[in-house]
Amino acid sequence: MTIEFDFEVDATGLQCPLPLLRLKKAIMEIDSGKVVKIIATDPAAHLDFGVYINQAGHTALKSFKEAEKHIFYIQKK
């Protein structure tokens, strides 16, 4: 299943809180309904992203692990 996205953020090698800050910046730069793909290697990124997405009302479309990378697709509310 391929998910179309509008903006990609590569946060590989970055530790908390940098992946979350990069995600927030990307979300601010796109329009409502658009999708951000973010790639992270921080093992806690999914926790930070989950809390942020729930609090801000965005939608987590899909997330999965590929090798050492966690890939997330998040749609802006």
Catalytic residue among 16, 18, 30, 60: 16
Active site residue 3: no
Per-residue tens of pLDDT for the chain, all 77 residues: 689 999 999 999 999 999 999 999 999 999 999 999 999 999 999 999 999 999 999 999 999 999 999 999 999 99
Residue 44 DSSP symbol: T
Q: Is residue 2 part of a domain?
A: no
Q: The domain spanning residue 29 has which CATH number?
A: 3.30.110.40
Beta carbons within 10 angstroms of residue 59's beta carbon: 12
Range of the domain at 63: 7-75
What residues pair up with 66 in beta bridges, in sequence order? 69
Q: What is the pTM of this model?
A: 0.94
What is the domain count for the chain?
1
18, part of any domain:
yes
Closest CA to 72 of 33, 31, 29, 41: 41
